[in-house]
């Protein structure tokens, strides 16, 4: 089987590599072609170009590199069509990948096209669902609430297959240990501080976080603080910490991050995927965010009722969210004090996290389920190769 891939960033690259491995476990010979990253190249893909070129954040940056992006778009379409694949699979990066899919659809309307990781229409611009339906035959979702959103918005047929995060050994080990032990607070308790992984996030939140920590230290003198930091913003974080009156323990590297997750009794975090990680590690959390000035002016495009994935999964505001003028240390410190104490608020979050995990749990691995859908779309007889070797 020859599969044309259109992948624009590294988390999608990992999903593509997992799909290739799962298909090989079912049918043996799989030839990936098109666009991917290092993980897919390790599985035999020779990428048309480096997907780092598509890692662009911000309207201004996209406009500045528009001619280059247009050339890469045409190169991707032509490169995949020249390979005559049996199916095309687009993964995430909707703005780029769906344009590729739409052009391939016009050139070869009979060619099956599958999307994995559809656009987050539940957050903003629900009209993208119809654009996706016009370009692809089917989509695979990573969150259990997405198929209903896509159906209501006129999207393509959608299937939830599970999220790769559910296989993370660190999160699963932390969850298991917390489930086996009484949900008691540390003595003294520990607050984890997560100001974001991008420079803009750190710049906009660190001062507020510093004032919140100072207030919490007054309200809870025994409280300890830990701040995991990623290398790309470590220098900025250290510079910002110089103005803090209370200094947290700074930890670096993956080992330090996961130890902090395991030991933390609560977290103050910038909005993002980390909210789901914290829920799956059973860490009560307060979420905050400040948009950059340009994005703030475009905030009217945001249609979602929440910015936190655990809230979407449960369909109710489990995690409290504080944006812009509501990123107020007086408020944040009181919210966190409730989560750092044996209170109904803390108990409610812990109970909600268990339900998040239950709703996200699937019987097959995402790669195995996705492989079965690919085989169905190309009309392959999966039974010829026997059962899958991928463990659920």
With a cut of 60, say whether residue 275 has pLDDT above it.
yes
Per the domain annotation, does 390 fall within a domain? no
Query: What backbone phi and psi angles, to 5 degrees, belong to 100?
Result: -60, -50
- Which residue range(s) make up the domain with 97? 2-162+362-385
Per the domain annotation, does 256 fall within a domain? yes
CATH code of the domain containing 300: 3.40.50.2000
Do 185 and 143 share a structural domain? Answer: no
**More confident call, 387 vs 177:** 177
Q: How far apart are CA 234 and CA 72, in angstroms?
A: 33
pLDDT class of 8 with cuts at 50, 70, 90: confident
Do 32 and 67 share a structural domain? Answer: yes
Q: Which pLDDT tens digit goes with each residue over 282-302? A: 999 999 999 888 777 878 778
Q: Which residues contact 54 (CB under 8 A, 6 or more apart)?
A: 8, 9, 69, 72, 93, 96
The mean predicted confidence, pLDDT, of the chain is 91
Do 201 and 155 share a structural domain? Answer: no
Which one, of 288, 289, 281, 223, lies nearest residue 257 by Cα? 281
Q: How far apart are CA 265 and CA 336, in angstroms?
A: 10
Q: Which pLDDT tens digit goes with each residue over 299-322? A: 877 888 999 999 999 999 999 999
- State percent of the chain over pLDDT 90: 80
Do 177 and 286 share a structural domain? Answer: yes
Per the domain annotation, does 254 fall within a domain? yes
Do 368 and 313 share a structural domain? Answer: no
**More confident call, 13 vs 54:** 13
Do 109 and 51 share a structural domain? Answer: yes
Do 262 and 299 share a structural domain? Answer: yes
Do 147 and 215 share a structural domain? Answer: no
Q: Where does residue 84 rank: exposed (0-12), middle (13-18), buried (19+ CB within 10 A)?
A: exposed
Do 179 and 234 share a structural domain? Answer: yes
The number of domains in the chain is: 2
Per the domain annotation, does 11 fall within a domain? yes
Do 223 and 132 share a structural domain? Answer: no
Do 104 and 33 share a structural domain? Answer: yes
Do 337 and 233 share a structural domain? Answer: yes
Per the domain annotation, does 307 fall within a domain? yes
Per the domain annotation, does 391 fall within a domain? no
> What pTM value is reported for the model?
0.87
Per the domain annotation, does 281 fall within a domain? yes
Instruction: Report yes or no: 212 and 339 within 8 Å, Cβ to Cβ.
Output: no
Per the domain annotation, does 64 fall within a domain? yes
């Amino acid at each position: 089987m020859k599969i044309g891939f259109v992948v624009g960033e590294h988390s999608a690259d990992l999903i593509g590599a997992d799909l290739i491995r799962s298909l090989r476990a079912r049918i043996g010979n799989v030839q990936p072609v098109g666009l991917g990253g290092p993980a897919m190249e390790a599985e035999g893909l020779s990428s048309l170009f480096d997907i780092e070129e598509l890692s662009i954040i911000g309207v201004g940056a996209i406009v500045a590199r528009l001619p280059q992006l247009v050339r890469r778009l045409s190169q991707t379409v032509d490169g995949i069509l020249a390979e005559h694949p049996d199916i095309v699979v687009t993964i995430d990066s909707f703005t780029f990948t769906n344009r590729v899919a739409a052009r391939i659809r016009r050139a070869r309307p009979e060619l099956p096209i599958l999307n994995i990781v559809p656009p987050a229409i539940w957050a903003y611009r629900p009209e993208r669902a119809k654009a996706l339906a016009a370009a692809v035959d089917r989509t695979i979702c990573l969150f259990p609430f997405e198929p209903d959103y896509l159906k209501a918005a006129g999207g393509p047929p959608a299937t939830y297959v599970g999220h790769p995060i559910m296989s993370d050994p660190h999160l699963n080990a932390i969850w298991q240990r917390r489930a086996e032990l009484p949900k008691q607070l540390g003595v003294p308790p520990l607050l984890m501080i997560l100001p974001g992984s991008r420079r803009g996030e750190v710049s906009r939140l660190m001062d507020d976080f510093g004032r919140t920590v100072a207030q919490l230290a007054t309200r809870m003198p025994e409280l300890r603080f830990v701040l995991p930091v990623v290398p790309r913003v470590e220098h900025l974080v250290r510079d910002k910490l110089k103005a803090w009156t209370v200094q947290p323990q700074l930890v670096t590297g993956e080992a330090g991050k996961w130890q902090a997750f395991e030991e933390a009794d609560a977290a103050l975090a910038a909005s993002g995927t980390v909210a789901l990680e914290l829920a799956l590690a059973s860490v009560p959390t307060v979420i905050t965010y400040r948009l950059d000035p340009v994005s703030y002016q475009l905030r009217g495009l945001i249609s979602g009722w929440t910015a936190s994935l655990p809230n979407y999964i449960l369909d109710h505001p489990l995690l409290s969210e504080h944006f812009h003028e509501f990123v107020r240390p007086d408020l944040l410190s009181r919210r966190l004090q409730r989560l750092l104490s044996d209170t109904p608020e803390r108990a409610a979050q812990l109970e909600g996290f268990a339900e998040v995990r239950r709703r996200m749990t699937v019987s097959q691995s995402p790669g195995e389920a996705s492989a079965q859908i690919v085989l169905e779309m190309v009309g392959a007889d999966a039974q010829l190769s026997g059962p899958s070797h991928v463990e659920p």
